[in-house]
Structure 1
Amino acid sequence: MRIVVLWLLLLQLQAGRVGLGQHLEARLDTVRRILHEVPLVDGHNDLPWNIRKFLKNQLVNFRFAEDLREMSPWSRSSWSHTDLLRLREGMVAAQFWSAYVPCSTQHLDAVQLALEQIDVIRRLVAKYPTYMTLVTTTEGIERAHESGLLASLIGVEGGHAIGTSLGVLRMLYQLGARYLTLTHTCNTPWADCSIADEPGHLPHIGGLSPFGTLVVREMNRLGMMVDLSHVSVPTMLDALRMSRAPVIFSHSSAHALCNSSRNVPDHVLRLLAENGGLMMVAFYPHFISCSESATLQDVVAHINHIRDVAGVDHVGIGAGYDGINITPLGLEDVSRYPYLLAELLGSGRWTEADLQKLVGKNLIRVFRKVEEVRDRLLANGEEPIDERIPVQDVYGRTYCRYPET
């Protein structure tokens, strides 16, 4: 009798698992339909830096349209999560590729590296015209999605990439960069990074310097999004106060759930909502669970928290794949976005209209508003800012620059 009861219980458990599986498949079908209608836009992917690390930016033997998990050196690296096959499986429609510039290049060859990383992004897109297209506008994102091409956008990571020159900033925009992350893990001569907020560290400036505010204003004039991932809280507050257009966090998470200095506190999230900006959630476990491990559900918790504080119109996705060496369980690579969305859909908190905002409509709205501000400033006759950073910083240190008489 006991054996029969156990057998019946086992059958019920198996039936329950099947039912749950069917329920997940139904939600995935809904997610796939949504992603056919609305482009999934991810705010940050560091593949271009891995191409530099592994291949020295030589693309001749880079087989991006094949499964890189089966090819050396990608198969041996915990930093590799991206290829065209998995991007298609994950239904990614638009990707901001990061032109990342290490802090060690500041005051050396940072500008050159930024140009080389933009070059490798542009060459990669040109190598795969049947899969990818270079995009610099909101219209371009929508056209690429309708055509079934991966809209490839460029974001420059690290304000030191402009070499304290607004002229360089303008040229990066001309080459296709549509956001600049104001700092990376180092202060620039005009902005403090998030490390300044950590115990035992003192701010360099205390936010943005007067020249830093000019950088933000010139980005508004150009139509380049101001990215506040990596910056200190005072820098966030200064930029939010100075910017005439919505700002973004391309790959950060909620400080209330993980108190990393890389994350965004609630009072800033509320100001971000007033600004009309966007917080794109990163997947790095150190930003999600403040530990070496995290799960898909932990990422969901951050998305829900940002929604609760800032509102559904101000949250997006900026995973940071290929720039992290550990990933959350269930979000191992770029193929897994539909499972994250299916989890949100199954929670009962997210409608299909809400998911459309999260995956792409919010970013497109913000980007379009940035374009509208640019157009208004142009119509008003606003000229390029031609002021230069002072020869010395606030501490009297002299920058290494060509002497002008």
Structure 2
Amino acid sequence: MPSGETVTSASSSFWMKPLGRLMVLSSLCCVISGYAERDRVNDLMSRYPLIDGHNDLALQLRRFHNNRLSQIDLHNISKVSTDINRLQVGHVQAQMFAAYVICGAQDKDAVRLALEQIDVVRRMCTEYQDFVLVTSAQELKNAKMRHKIACLISVEGGHAIDSSLPALRMFYQIGVRSMSLTHTCNTPWAESSSKLHNVYQRQNNGLTNFGKAVVEEMNRLGMIVDLSHSSWDTASAALNHSKAPVIFSHSSSFSICNHERNVPDWLLHDLKKKRGLIMVNLHSQFISCRDEANISRVADHFDHIKKMVGAESIGIGGDYEGAVSFPQGLEDVSKYPDLILELLRRNWTENELADVLRKNFLRVFEEVERVRDQLVVNRPSEVQISVEEVRNPCRLVLRPPNPRGSFESPSSTAQHEPKALLIIATVLLLSSLLMIE
């Protein structure tokens, strides 16, 4: 007869075997469930691949390679978070590439620098077969059918047009389809959310008359008005003045992280009325208001914005290459499926996620083009900004040539006025002395 200890041991063994089997089965279920969820994400993103509203790869191409595309292979680039291979893994089918110009170039060579950045985007999107440059909503759709990554060009910072509507029109002619009214500096006609640069300050923080003319001309052209980086007053004024929907190409929720670059709830409601779009920025500083964040915190922004204005007003504008830190698990563009997985786990429907991934942006783009078509009878605007508003001593205002054959600006003429008066006074004095003699 077995001892009591032996009976206890046998009894434990009897119960532990089924328990072990249950634990193994439970683990297998979790693994299977995890695979099923990821399969679901991959299937969803294959049918509705992402349109990403903002990427600064062109900036890093200038920074690390001085725009020399011959030195690199865009399929696999070191020191950055974006390349063709990772875009494909991340199911990114369309990317808005920013032609970014630093604010220090305002009133100097901003137009030239913007043209150079547009050139490098055009080159990479025409020299690589995986890319295709698109300039319309229909071309964007066609790119998906051809299994190409569509490239859209945006200008980041209205200072790049040097307060010139003809310059704005020329940008459109070479493929630019979106422009943010400001970057981290004010322009003479719009206010930035940032106080980093102490330029063009005024009492009214909205849009000047010329700023409204910029919005009107963008509507006429069919160029998307981007309000990321704009002050809340400027964004509100642009929302009220624009005939077409507008976007925040890379901004997040101010209620979740009270950073100046994020959008408050009252402005989200105005955006919804305009049928516009906020494309959530993934920069850690805008997600958690510090340098560290995680996917869950990113999803909190999506949840809050959906609660305020619905999934039909949301997109994604990662801001890769333009920011220095990203949430854990979202370190590069290949990780977008992990964000969609988190939202699925939070009971977002596939229809809602299809809207966020691409359908909302397509709708906005098509409505911008519809407004353009309605304004086709309007002639190009000839509104000009006044010299007093620009206050730029380097801005040349063409006048008839002087005897030396050069042109002078008002500033250069003003510099010569004291000398001219002195010469006239001297001549008059000599004349009077000669008359006395």
* Shared fold per TM-score greater than 0.5: yes
Aligned: 1:81 with 2:81: yes
Aligned: 1:384 with 2:380: yes
Aligned: 1:64 with 2:74: yes
Q: Matches of 2:339 and 2:384 in 1, distance apart?
A: 45
Instruction: Provide TM-score, normalisation by structure 1.
Output: 0.91
Could you tell me how far 1:20 is from its partner in structure 2? 3.1
Q: Matches of 1:288 and 1:313 in 2, distance apart?
A: 21
Aligned: 1:402 with 2:412: no
Match of 2:416 in 1: none
Assess, with a 3 A threshold, how the Cα gap between structure 1 residues 108 and 26 changes in structure 2: closer, same or farther: same
Contact 2:186–2:201 (Cα < 8 Å) also in 1: no
Q: Which runs of 5+ in 1 are unaligned?
A: 69-73
Match of 2:50 in 1: 40
Contact 1:196–1:203 (Cα < 8 Å) also in 2: no
Secondary structure in 1 aligned to 2:155? strand
Match of 1:356 in 2: 354
- Higher mean Cα deviation, 296-305 or 262-271? 296-305
Match of 1:134 in 2: 133
**Deviation digits for residues 84-138 of structure 1 (CA, Å, limit 9, x no counterpart):** 1111100110000110111011011100011000000011112212x01001111
Could you tell me how far 1:203 is from its partner in structure 2? 5.5
Match of 1:100 in 2: 100
Contact 1:136–1:178 (Cα < 8 Å) also in 2: yes
Q: Matches of 2:74 and 2:212 in 1, distance apart?
A: 40
Q: Matches of 2:295 and 2:183 in 1, distance apart?
A: 26
Could you tell me how far 1:28 is from its partner in structure 2? 2.0
Assess, with a 3 A threshold, how the Cα gap between structure 1 residues 8 and 114 changes in structure 2: closer, same or farther: farther
Could you tell me how far 1:39 is from its partner in structure 2? 3.2
Instruction: Provide TM-score, normalisation by structure 2.
Output: 0.84
Could you tell me how far 1:38 is from its partner in structure 2? 2.2
Assess, with a 3 A threshold, how the Cα gap between structure 1 residues 13 and 45 changes in structure 2: closer, same or farther: farther
Q: Which amino acid aligns with 2:107?
A: H
Could you tell me how far 1:342 is from its partner in structure 2? 1.4
Secondary structure in 2 aligned to 1:272? helix
Assess, with a 3 A threshold, how the Cα gap between structure 1 residues 112 and 205 changes in structure 2: closer, same or farther: farther
Match of 2:172 in 1: 173
Assess, with a 3 A threshold, how the Cα gap between structure 1 residues 204 and 196 changes in structure 2: closer, same or farther: farther
Q: Which amino acid aligns with 1:27?
A: E
Assess, with a 3 A threshold, how the Cα gap between structure 1 residues 206 and 19 changes in structure 2: closer, same or farther: same
Q: Matches of 2:12 and 2:319 in 1, distance apart?
A: 51
Contact 1:227–1:248 (Cα < 8 Å) also in 2: yes
Q: Which amino acid aligns with 2:379?
A: E
Assess, with a 3 A threshold, how the Cα gap between structure 1 residues 6 and 283 changes in structure 2: closer, same or farther: farther
Contact 1:90–1:336 (Cα < 8 Å) also in 2: yes
Q: Which amino acid aligns with 2:110?
A: A
Q: Which amino acid aligns with 1:94?
A: A
Contact 1:185–1:194 (Cα < 8 Å) also in 2: yes
Aligned: 1:210 with 2:209: yes
Contact 1:38–1:356 (Cα < 8 Å) also in 2: yes
Could you tell me how far 1:60 is from its partner in structure 2? 0.5
Contact 1:186–1:195 (Cα < 8 Å) also in 2: yes
- In our comparison, the structure showing a higher alpha carbon Rg is 2
Match of 1:121 in 2: 121
Secondary structure in 1 aligned to 2:228? coil
Match of 1:277 in 2: 276
Could you tell me how far 1:252 is from its partner in structure 2? 0.3
Match of 2:63 in 1: 53
**Deviation digits for residues 41-86 of structure 1 (CA, Å, limit 9, x no counterpart):** 00001000000000000010211113x3xxxxx3xx4xx1011111
Q: Matches of 2:202 and 2:300 in 1, distance apart?
A: 31
Could you tell me how far 1:297 is from its partner in structure 2? 0.9
Contact 2:190–2:208 (Cα < 8 Å) also in 1: yes
Aligned: 1:247 with 2:246: yes
Q: Which amino acid aligns with 2:394?
A: C
Which structure would you say has the larger RCO, counting Cα contacts within 8 Å and 6 or more residues apart?
Answer: 1
Assess, with a 3 A threshold, how the Cα gap between structure 1 residues 214 and 322 changes in structure 2: closer, same or farther: same
Trace 1:141-152 onto structure 2 (pairs within 5 A).
141-152=140-151
Q: Matches of 2:17 and 2:229 in 1, distance apart?
A: 56
Secondary structure in 2 aligned to 1:392? helix
Could you tell me how far 1:36 is from its partner in structure 2? 2.3
**Deviation digits for residues 211-241 of structure 1 (CA, Å, limit 9, x no counterpart):** 1010001000000000000010000110001
Number of positions where the alignment pairs a residue of Structure 1 with one of Structure 2: 387
Q: How well do the aligned residues superpose, as a CA RMSD in angstroms? A: 2.3
Q: Matches of 2:394 and 2:17 in 1, distance apart?
A: 78
Secondary structure in 2 aligned to 1:403? coil
- Higher mean Cα deviation, 261-270 or 320-329? 320-329
Assess, with a 3 A threshold, how the Cα gap between structure 1 residues 16 and 329 changes in structure 2: closer, same or farther: farther
Could you tell me how far 1:326 is from its partner in structure 2? 1.1
Match of 2:31 in 1: 21
Assess, with a 3 A threshold, how the Cα gap between structure 1 residues 32 and 387 changes in structure 2: closer, same or farther: same
Secondary structure in 2 aligned to 1:276? coil
Contact 1:196–1:202 (Cα < 8 Å) also in 2: no
Q: Matches of 1:338 and 1:399 in 2, distance apart?
A: 51
Assess, with a 3 A threshold, how the Cα gap between structure 1 residues 375 and 293 changes in structure 2: closer, same or farther: same
Q: Matches of 2:137 and 2:273 in 1, distance apart?
A: 22
Assess, with a 3 A threshold, how the Cα gap between structure 1 residues 393 and 295 changes in structure 2: closer, same or farther: same
- Higher mean Cα deviation, 107-116 or 8-17? 8-17
